[in-house]
Amino acid sequence: MKFARRSTLILGIAAAVALGTTGCSGGLLGGGGSGGDSTSGSGDSGPIKLGMVIPISGSSAPTGAYMKNGATMAVDEINKDGGVDGRKLELLVEDEACDAQQSVAAANKVVSNGAVVSVGGYCSGATLPEIPIFQKANIPMIIPAANSQDLVNQNAKNVFLINGTGKQQSAAALKFMKKQGYKNVAIVDDNTSYSKDINTETKKQIEEDGSIKVVLSTSVTAGESDYSAVVRDIMNAKPDLTYWTGYYQEGGLIINQLTKAGYKGKIMVADGSVDPSLVKIAGPGAEGVYATMTQTPDTIKGAEDWIANYKKKFGSEPGPYSTQSYDAVRLAAEAIKKAGSTKGDDIIKALEGIDGFKMFSGPLKFTPEHTLSSGGFVILQVKDGKFVLADDLSS
């Protein structure tokens, strides 16, 4: 309940800020589309602008870099092939630092700069307050990473998720727990929307199933360096498995401190912790850690050429959500092309009509809730310091 009130407050503030800011930006709130003149990206000439609000600073900056690179690859490829209806794509990247207040300012900036589609969204708590801003401007949001059920529960017609939802991730976690025969589990979140959502939903699904006991369900405060209190609680609860549903910075510290405390159970993390940084922070305790995760580039069959092109372009390995961000741009371009328009309502209608569009996650067709029909979650495991596929959950 505490978070629900906080989310409502944040969304209300965001809406107010959106009205105050976009009201001065050349008619972006008027009519039935995103409006603006030809320089806004929504006219009949000039570049078509895509907004991307992602973490460029802060602890999640490495993931933001992967996302920006993936989106940039798609933009460059599409522009090389002539663009969309003869118009080039332009990517407008702004930093939200996984912070709700900063994300509001970033979203307003891409709106005022003429974006016609948003292809960003990593931290759910920062993406949530962007919804009323893009909704008021009638700008579709194709969200490549953020996946809290709270995003779906807004029932916003302009929001489309191309990553599996928290509910789907919880179902994958439970399936793996049952396959492994765990009887007692602890679930720990970092009190963010995304993390709390997975904790609550996983606990609910476990209790409904009845074959596993949740011996601990608790929250920590993100940004701290000492998690000895929760480590002590986990040790006292003696779970077969501890499921960390937060981000990798805190997750790495908790794993490190659990290991030093002599914890003998298994550890699993949610998709927000699937990053090389987790392994560095956790130290030796990271080896053997499981993760619920959608696709990463190295787990996708047939992605070898794409990975090689990424490495050639950016001089580094692609990381989590690079492929989803690549597909978000491609999907935006496809919808604009099918719509024959850059007006929000036309693009939204085109997105709803997409059937079989090929993405890394498979052929796309949105559910009525604008989510994927299948979450696509698999189980990864850290081996020799890297996340590798451990179970595709196909059986």
Q: For residue 4, which of 130, 150, 151 has the smallest C-alpha distance?
A: 150
Give pLDDT, residue 373.
87
Tell me if the pTM is above 0.85. Answer: no
Give pLDDT, residue 301.
87
Chain position carrying tokens 């009638």: 138
237 and 316 inside one domain: no
pLDDT-derived band of residue 41, with 50, 70 and 90 as boundaries?
low
Q: What is the pLDDT of residues 183-207, one digit of tens each?
A: 999 999 999 889 999 999 999 999 9
Distance CA(273)–CA(93), nearest Å, equals 23
64 and 147 inside one domain: yes
Q: What is the count of structural domains for the chain?
A: 2
In a domain, 370, yes or no: no
Q: For residue 339, which of 354, 327, 349 has the smallest C-alpha distance?
A: 349
pLDDT-derived band of residue 374, with 50, 70 and 90 as boundaries?
confident
Give pLDDT, residue 17.
40
In a domain, 312, yes or no: yes
239 and 119 inside one domain: no
Q: What is the pLDDT of residues 129-150, one digit of tens each?
A: 999 999 999 999 999 999 988 9
Judged against a pLDDT cut of 60, whether residue 322 lies above it is answered with yes
Q: Give, as one character, the DSSP assignment of residue 47.
A: P
pLDDT-derived band of residue 375, with 50, 70 and 90 as boundaries?
confident
326 and 180 inside one domain: no
111 and 184 inside one domain: no
Query: CB within 8 A of 394, min separation 6: which ones?
Result: none
The helix-helix angle for 248-260 and 228-237 (nearest 10°) equals 60
Strands 362-364 and 357-359: antiparallel
In a domain, 225, yes or no: yes
Query: CB within 8 A of 20, min separation 6: which ones?
Result: none
85 and 214 inside one domain: no
Q: What is the pLDDT of residues 47-58, one digit of tens each?
A: 999 999 999 999
Maximum average pLDDT range among 2-16, 17-31, 226-240: 226-240
9 and 157 inside one domain: yes
Q: For residue 199, which of 220, 179, 183, 181 has the smallest C-alpha distance?
A: 220
Judged against a pLDDT cut of 80, whether residue 32 lies above it is answered with no
In a domain, 298, yes or no: no
Mean pLDDT computed over 241-266: 97
Indicate which CATH number applies to the domain containing 7: 3.40.50.2300
Q: Give, as one character, the DSSP assignment of residue 218.
A: E
Write out the H or E segment, with its range, that includes residue 200.
helix 193-209
Give pLDDT, residue 174.
98
105 and 245 inside one domain: no
In a domain, 26, yes or no: yes
Host domain of residue 215: 167-293+377-391
Averaged pLDDT of the chain? 90
160 and 171 inside one domain: no
In a domain, 372, yes or no: no
Judged against a pLDDT cut of 70, whether residue 31 lies above it is answered with no
Q: What is the pLDDT of residues 90-123, one digit of tens each?
A: 999 999 999 999 999 999 999 999 999 999 999 9
Give pLDDT, residue 175.
98
